[in-house]
Amino acid sequence: MLALTGTGIGRRVAIGKAMVLDRSRQEIPKYEVSQDQVHSEIKRFQSALARTRAELRRIQEEIPDHAPHEANAFIDVHLLMLQDPVIAEQPVRAMEEHSYNAEWALKTQADTLVEFFRNIEDPYLRSKKDDVHQVVNRILEELMIENDPPAAALDGNLAGRVVIANDLTPADAVTLHHRGITAFVTSLGGPISHTAILARSLGIPAVVGLHHAVQYFHNGDLLAVDGQTGTVLVGLDQTLLTEFQQRQSNQAKREQQLSALRNEPAITCDGYTVNLLANIELPEETDTLERFGANGVGLYRTEFLFMNRTEPPDEAEQYEAYRDVLDALTGPITIRTLDLGADKQVDGGRADGATKINPALGLRAIRLCLSEPTLFRPQLRAILRASMNGRARIMIPMLSSLSELEQALEIVREVKHDLAREGIEFDSKVPVGGMIEVPAAAIAADLFANRLDFLSIGTNDLIQYTLAIDRIDDEVNYLYDPLHPSILRLINNVICAGREAGIPVSLCGEMAGDPDYTRLLLGLGLVEFSMEPTRLLEIKERVRTSEREKLMGQTQQILECADPAQLRMMVDQLNRDGEQKYELVP
């Protein structure tokens, strides 16, 4: 038996026979064409672009009505990228100016867009470089159709198959799900890529980032895929096969149990109410929140409005997007102001300048907004105008100093004054909060708490900055540890600061959606969690089977623990106690 490990997606397991989809191709050709051939080369490129667009729309039409809304939303993102001037127009200019062949012209221009996303510090936004690769590869497949025809393997009934590929696009994931696959494994990808998010929404177990996956498996191999641990087993004996079949049976019972909690309140056994919110990126995602029982939105990322375009959105366009979200939901909607960055000239969110040595520590988030008030003010005006349509909250990202905060709050006051003078209605009491994701802010959380209406802990960046590691970097991501004593003490410090100031504190990083940390966070005093919608029901169950008062005493011992191994054992014991007491389905 062979066991291989990548990054697991979802918490399901699957059994099936391998279907290796090797899309490796010859090197992208580079050559010059004669002047009289340039026009036909441009037509060849535009034809490939049109066929790619038509294929994505065909896939969209095949999405069943009951599929998660993300299926449509992510394909829409790829369709929008096909309109991006870097992809749709600049290759044409390269052909006209340099007489490049279409494939090479596309590659050179797409590399510029990939470099932009690579230099963004935020892991979620940086992962969008994968979407650029996927869109460009689809066009290249059309251009190189004679030598590398599109994979016909995606057609037909694939029930019971585990697809093995170098990479998959969101459109591939939708198509494969429609064809009945049981799981997929890819060499590339990360836990927050569009394909990974869509796989979780569709309920497809997957393992991504398993390097050179297509080299390890053969068509017809019997595989077991564990989306929770990120393990793929090949060459199973009967004992292991029976074990995985039993786990699948337990999964079905578990999911039925969780679905019954959708309309139940998130209240601990000893009567503490917990607010469970969702993280969203697109206005259309509000359709999925009712399905998982979210009380509102704890993190609405606004960056999607600024990306894949040459000019930033104006106030009117932003107003419509924020208004649509506020109209769709009755709960609070926390709108995070623009969180692009990493030393760039702002051009709808694209970098045209030189790449800096350390973009992680550069001009991003609130720093960028303060240096570009013509970017910040229209967004604040749009949010405030939309606040008349619901319960809006403004959240400022990446605060690190009180001077930054005071500048931001002063601009908010000025924008309110301008709107009032113009006779434009807005909610003058819109809460303004801050993301605590920089160690400096977490240490001085009491100072920020005295000046803000709420705090939200962004654990993804907080962990990376505190431990000086990049969780997307395969060489060091093993050091990414949410249970590091310094991380727990910083989280505790922020929660305590909020409690002392009498303001709410939420947590919107990956820790909020991981049930392994729910009881620990409850014990630290957290009562507001914001996460990917598909994780809400499992977190709600943990909340409903927890005794907060008892956890607070146990958590104090964890905070005082200096031994990492012992600390982890203590956290595991918190979870085992709950499972034993309430006889949860494994």
Q: What is the pLDDT of residue 287?
A: 77
Q: What is the pLDDT of residue 206?
A: 94
Separation CA 526–CA 492 (nearest Å): 9
> Is 211 marked active-site?
no
pLDDT tens for each residue of the chain, 586 residues long: 788 989 898 888 999 999 988 655 456 888 888 888 899 889 999 999 999 999 888 888 877 666 666 677 778 888 888 888 888 888 999 899 989 899 888 988 888 777 766 666 666 666 667 778 788 888 888 887 644 444 445 556 788 899 999 888 888 888 888 888 999 999 887 776 778 877 887 789 999 989 888 888 988 999 999 998 999 999 888 888 899 889 989 888 888 888 899 999 999 999 999 999 999 877 777 877 888 889 999 999 998 788 766 688 999 999 999 999 999 999 999 999 998 764 333 444 444 444 444 445 567 788 889 888 899 999 999 999 999 999 999 999 999 999 999 999 999 999 999 999 999 999 999 999 999 999 999 999 999 999 999 999 999 889 989 998 766 565 666 677 899 999 999 999 999 999 999 999 999 988 999 999 999 999 999 999 999 888 899 999 999 999 999 999 899 999 999 888 899 999 999 898 766 555 444 3
Decide if 421 contacts 459 (C-beta within 8 A). no
Separation CA 341–CA 359 (nearest Å): 8
Cross-sheet strand order for the sheet of 161-165: 2-5, 231-234, 222-226, 13-21, 161-165, 183-186, 206-208, 7-9
Cβ-in-10-Å burial (0-12, 13-18, 19+) of 534 comes to buried
Q: What is the pLDDT of residue 252?
A: 84
For the record, the structure tokens of 384 come out as 């405030």
> Is 369 marked active-site?
no
Closest CA to 413 of 384, 436, 435: 384
Q: What is the pLDDT of residue 286?
A: 81
**Tokens 């003010």 sit on residue:** 377
Q: What is the pLDDT of residue 152?
A: 44
CA distances from 386 to 206, 318, 515 (A): 39, 9, 34
For the record, the structure tokens of 146 come out as 């004679």
Q: What is the pLDDT of residue 347?
A: 43
**Tokens 């300048």 sit on residue:** 353
CA distances from 547 to 272, 513, 525 (A): 9, 19, 12
Q: Which of 69, 78, 194, 369 is catalytic?
A: 194
Q: Which helix (H) or strand (E) holds 507?
A: strand 505-507
